[in-house]
Structure 1
């Protein structure tokens, strides 16, 4: 029997407790979560007690120095993704880093270089890639059912969904608001389905119109007096192959639905909306709407953790790559840069 993968968790907050830890446990004897670290030691201790983790620490350095690990889940605020990931890779660990990859494209590039140099797996928490809708549509795309995908649209918009917990509204720790938090999921899903084309030109706009004043919160009360991120971002990306992508994302916007996450693809042989999955084609002089009769219902995070563990054990390959993380980070950075300067950004 293969030895279990020895995993350490960096960051004992909500994403670690709600997504990583319970799904590592579902892997049974293939995984042992042996340590957790958090800069607030009491959080690490509490997490270790609740989840029966034998070791807890107040720093990643202590954890890497004192416990033998094969892999690390990086579940910190965005500001600490790069340093934690690089340190874990240098210590000989595979890394699953939560999204977004980093705060800057330079950090993402250094993370990719380190993973390559160390010969270790680095993959990111783009859990929507592991949804049955995306997995199914990818098979159709790869089989040529949509033909040449020349246009796509990304939509991740909440009516009043500013998180009332964590550091989601703190630009210094997060790097931005909805674009870097929820928009990144739909953007990655679209790019993945399109084959991650190379970007050429980016235009963006960002707005802070609602989050910096008191209002109705559908995800708890947020600290509106210290709200430092955008509450809406919009962008357009043109790729070197001639295709384009339109993006809209918001924590708060005056729209009808409370929460919408959607990717739309348009190809010369077919198109699709992803959530829920519907494919549009023209065949035999007939316009068709195609919907799957059945899709498996499995938690996206569960599939993500399972794939990460299996890739660390050499049973499969990771779904997202460090190079894709670099492209994604460049696009996020370029949208923010264009929004700030009012000019298009060439990549």
Structure 2
């Protein structure tokens, strides 16, 4: 199922359609036009009305996806109905070409209209489900915010540290969920749908887990059972914390399953391997050049040593000459003194 859906979406992208709904709608418009061009007036009227209703339902559902979250599985379920309509349209064309019987033509037309109506009913039902799901999430998110506010008011006498932890984690869970909702619009429909489905379910679990906490805290405050109040606060913080971690783990899991993400990781891995290979080659070249460099240095040192020897030899001769001159000068001085 997932493979087929990805194939459909990638095909729509390859043909530069804005989304799968647009692709399916344009495909249907071509089939309808090819059929009604040669149809009698009653057929054009009935098929035209039925197809317009279907287009309206397709646009309505597509708009809801843009406003809330994609639902590619709906289009996958719709596709067989789409194919049935196209088959009925083709059959209607054949009947119109082979017979002039008005009854046969209208029978084929009625069958086609019925398939249009079935598809329209399906999309209308799915639209209502989608809207209700999203409204339910919105209600639960608002309730979670309200619960946090109530707990903050009711727990003024509790541990400030526990209360700060509760507020911080509650706000983090809400912001993470809202940010996820915004970010899914940049993802492929399958990825966006999977991520938001996980988020919806987690919002429901968090809401269910904390909805009774304000009443428990109210009872604890009334009975001055402050330890129970702190326990309720800590439990609520723990529920938020688990929700935060769950959303993050599911986000990573779903993105890792994405073909787009896999391709990105493959490109990144290839680049890293090329970089490592280049570094290894450079290191090997350096190791090869090091002995040559050593020999070159040794040769230079030998030459320097020879030059130093050549320079020192005249110095020794000069010293011997200077020594002989000093001896003669000393002998001459002794003779004069005598």
TM range (shorter): under 0.3
Higher helix fraction: Structure 1 or Structure 2? 2
TM-score, reference length from structure 2: 0.18
Instruction: Normalising by structure 1, report the TM-score.
Output: 0.18
- Structure scoring higher RCO (CA < 8 A, sep ≥ 6) equals 1
